[in-house]
Amino acid sequence: MKRDSRRGASSTRLRWPADPFGAREADRYESPLPSREYVLQTLRDEAVPMDERRLAKLFNLAAEEIEPFERRLGAMERDGQLLRNRKGALLVAEKLDLVAGRVEAHPDGYGFVIPDAGGADFFLSANEMSGVLHGDRVMVRQTGTDRRGRPEGGIVEVIERAQQRVVGRVHRERGLWFVAASDRRISQDLLLEAGGHGRAKPGQVVTAEIVAQPTRNSAPIARVVEVLGDYGDPGMEIEIALRKHRLPFEFTAEAKRLAARLPEAVRERDGKGRRDLRDLALVTIDGETAKDFDDAVWCERSKRGLRLVVAIADVSHYVKPGDALDLDARERGNSVYFPRRVIPMLPEKLSNELCSLNPEVDRLAMVCDMQVSGRGEIGTYEFYPAVFRSHARLTYTQVAAALYEGKPDATTSGVMERLQALDEVFRALLKARGRRGAIDFETTETRLVFNDAGKIETIVAVERNDAHRLIEECMLAANVCASDFLAANKHHALYRVHEGPTPEKLTALREFLKGFGLQLPGGEEPHARDYAKLLEQIKQRPDRQLLQTVLLRSLQQAVYSPENMGHFGLAYEHYTHFTSPIRRYPDLVIHRAIKAVLAGERYSPGDWTELGKHCSTTERRADDATRDVEAWLKCFYMQDRVGEEFDATVSGVTSFGIFVGLDGIYVEGLVHISELGTDYFHFDAVRHSLRGERTGKSFRLADRVRVRIARVDLETSRIDFVLG
């Protein structure tokens, strides 16, 4: 509980005047305890291991304070600040030269410890890895240096186990039952306890619960708790990915009950206090297969330029902070889009029905109403809740045909004037984008086309037309306004942060470009427009794909954070996500914050920093899971084509070989370094190349090669090539 900070600070100073963070603790808690820092300082000063009772006596804690104090010590143990000796006494970890970190395992059996506090990773030999699994948190001590100069670590203690359930295939050999994990980073087989295979048959995919974690001398022991089916069953690749990446895919019973109690349609009373935009010819523009429509747009010419209205589904009207729907959505962080299956952030009653902006039905929305000049500059804008109805469900193909091919159909003909105004605002915003210097990388997105049996029939490139870009620019404008609105009203927000290159990446990039006679301007802190100018400069070069790829890889990943660091790629000083609350939790948070400001209130989801980290993590988790599924499906698609030759492009270069992408098929695989020729090949990370010591033959990013499929491994979702 919170308390009056002045009273708490005074109380803490009386009890522990030496506590450097006493005021902070008093501000946070009604009954403050000695801070973590003070506990560590005391243990250092005493210079001997101490148990809880002796520490509590030293701090003169009352009986009712003992239990919360022990919980604090337990948390410090889990965080790697404290360690217990064999007698149960507490020691300061850093005095023992111990470092807390998370284990990153490699399929070949070795691994690394990534320190919590940053710094160099510790290499773990296969012997050290025998007692831990991927993701475990450990205390490690440096034991030496390996032949590459990396610090080697020895695990002193496991402070948190990451793996409780593992998905994999059941095997039986010589009377022993075991599970081989689908996540190859878990290289140890899980032995099944007596009768632990249940009804599973050899070869089937199961979920196994670990009943005994591994030690230096024993393998992990588990029992089967779920039989998913046979490996080749349709959709099994998704079932595996869901469990491997720990994606929540079932809503809690309370969330289901709350969803069931929601109305079937927007009621008259739901529109109270909202602007009525039902006469405004708003339309949705999405892909042909889209089911959840969370944005609608409308535009008209005015004396001040163009009025652009972006209406976003008002999910926050139905999902209240802290209720079961909110807790489930927060845990998921985002919807996950697999081929032929979606794991939604919200139950279908909301995502596909009540909050989906279906045509010709009343819907609730949060609206961003903007004035845009002919130069694409956003002038005044306004946010308000509204009730409206979409006048048409349009597709990108329809809109592109109507606007750019002169082929309107029956649906687009009725809203043609609005579409033309939208195209006008799009062109204006595009000009502003160019003046800002936003980066526009040319990338190819693909779509898997399935047959009736649920297997890939073909893989096709997704063509982005100007209708896609039109909607994208409208959404960017609304997102920028949302960010500006919260910043102007000094309200916390989750910004979408995209930082430029790190100093190390910038140095490597410039060194690489130098070999091509190119320069990236901008000094030590280049701007997005510097990248954009260089991209324009190389547009007609035959090696533009190579150069663009290296430029793209020099940038950092975008994350969510309450700290506004700007969006480098889009060249915005501030940017947030507002336009997709059906499928992204940060957008829902932004809606609540905007509503709070409009009501003269403040909104907090808790710890903004932790929420940003969580949402960034769930986004990466979704990307990893969908990548796994697509990789398996592509392997299945190619398994009957072993021996065939293809033209390909080098898409990645590593110390162990080159990755290649097949022309027109959009499938990637590895040519191992041993298949490149009878030579010693040396990896150049700066130049993204492998070069033969004797022959001088080199393989570089974006090079063209001829390859043959040598092996397709469904178990590891890997395709191996040899040079053709």
DSSP letter at 517?
T
* Structural tokens at position 104: 């990153």
Could you give the 3-state DSSP secondary structure of residue 556?
A: coil
62 phi, psi to nearest 5 deg:
-75, 165
Full DSSP string of 449-481 = EE-TTSSEEEEEEEPP-HHHHHHHHHHHHHHHH
- The 10s digit of each residue's pLDDT in 28-71 is 777 888 888 888 888 888 878 888 888 888 888 888 888 889 88
Residue 441's pLDDT is 80
Residue 542's pLDDT is 78
Mean pLDDT of 229-236: 89
Cβ neighbours for 467, distance < 8 A, ≥ 6 positions apart = 285, 396, 397, 399, 400, 403, 404
Mean pLDDT of 158-179: 94
Identical fold for domains 97-160 and 165-231, yes or no, is yes
DSSP letter at 619?
H
The answer, yes or no, to whether residue 453 has pLDDT greater than 90, is no
Instruction: State the amino acid at position 231 in one-letter form.
Output: Y
Residue 89's pLDDT is 85
Residue 118's pLDDT is 83
Could you give the 3-state DSSP secondary structure of residue 698?
A: strand
Residue predicted with more confidence, 9 or 174: 174
Domain boundaries, the chain: 5-93, 97-160, 165-231, 253-492+578-622, 642-723
> 461-469: long-range contacts (C-beta < 8 A, 24 or more apart)?
461/666, 465/396, 465/397, 465/400, 465/404, 466/400, 466/403, 466/404, 466/423, 466/426, 467/285, 467/396, 467/397, 467/399, 467/400, 467/403, 467/404, 468/396, 469/426, 469/430
Predicted confidence band of residue 713 (pLDDT cuts 50, 70, 90)? very high
68-82, 282-296, 518-532: segment of lowest average pLDDT: 68-82
Edge-to-edge strands, sheet with 378-389: 275-276, 378-389, 362-372, 305-313, 295-302
Residue predicted with more confidence, 441 or 355: 355
Mean pLDDT of 341-362: 95
Residue 10's pLDDT is 41
Residue 686's pLDDT is 84
Rg (CA), the chain: 29
Architecture of 165-231 per CATH?
A: Beta Barrel (2.40)
Residue 2's pLDDT is 35
204 near 170, Cβ under 8 Å? yes
Does domain 97-160 fall into CATH 3.40.50.2300? no
* Structural tokens at position 474: 């409208």
Residue 254's pLDDT is 97
Cα dihedral 12, 13, 19, 20 sign: positive
Mean pLDDT of 336-346: 94
Residue 1's pLDDT is 32
Residue 388's pLDDT is 96
- Which CATH class, in words, describes the domain spanning 5-93? mainly alpha
The answer, yes or no, to whether residue 480 has pLDDT greater than 90, is yes
From 299, 273, 483, 491, select the one nearest 385 (Cα to Cα).
273
Mean pLDDT of 251-256: 97
Strand partners, 462: 445
Instruction: State the amino acid at position 680 in one-letter form.
Output: Y
- The 10s digit of each residue's pLDDT in 526-583 is 999 999 999 988 888 877 888 888 898 899 999 999 999 999 999 999 999 999 999 9
Mean predicted lDDT score pLDDT of the chain: 91
Mean pLDDT of 295-306: 93
**How many Å apart are CA 220 and CA 130, to the nearest integer?**
10
The answer, yes or no, to whether residue 5 has pLDDT greater than 60, is no
Residue 80's pLDDT is 79
The answer, yes or no, to whether residue 9 has pLDDT greater than 70, is no
pLDDT over 70, % of the chain: 98
Instruction: Report the topology of domain 642-723.
Output: OB fold (Dihydrolipoamide Acetyltransferase, E2P) (2.40.50)
681 near 691, Cβ under 8 Å? yes
Q: How many CB atoms lie within 10 A of CB 629?
A: 25
220 near 214, Cβ under 8 Å? yes
Residue 6's pLDDT is 34
Mean pLDDT of 654-667: 92
* Structural tokens at position 358: 């279906």
Predicted confidence band of residue 681 (pLDDT cuts 50, 70, 90)? very high
- The 10s digit of each residue's pLDDT in 490-503 is 999 999 999 999 99
**How many Å apart are CA 553 and CA 520, to the nearest integer?**
14
Residue 351's pLDDT is 95
The answer, yes or no, to whether residue 445 has pLDDT greater than 90, is no
The answer, yes or no, to whether residue 141 has pLDDT greater than 90, is no
- The 10s digit of each residue's pLDDT in 183-221 is 999 999 999 999 999 999 999 999 999 999 999 889 999
Predicted confidence band of residue 117 (pLDDT cuts 50, 70, 90)? confident
Instruction: Supply angle C-alpha 74, 80, 84, rounded to 5.
Output: 60
Query: E-strand spans in 213-345?
Result: 221-230, 275-276, 284-286, 295-302, 305-313, 336-338, 341-343
Q: How many CB atoms lie within 10 A of CB 265?
A: 10
CA distance to 41, 58, 86, 119, 412, per residue, from 89 (Å): 16, 15, 7, 29, 75
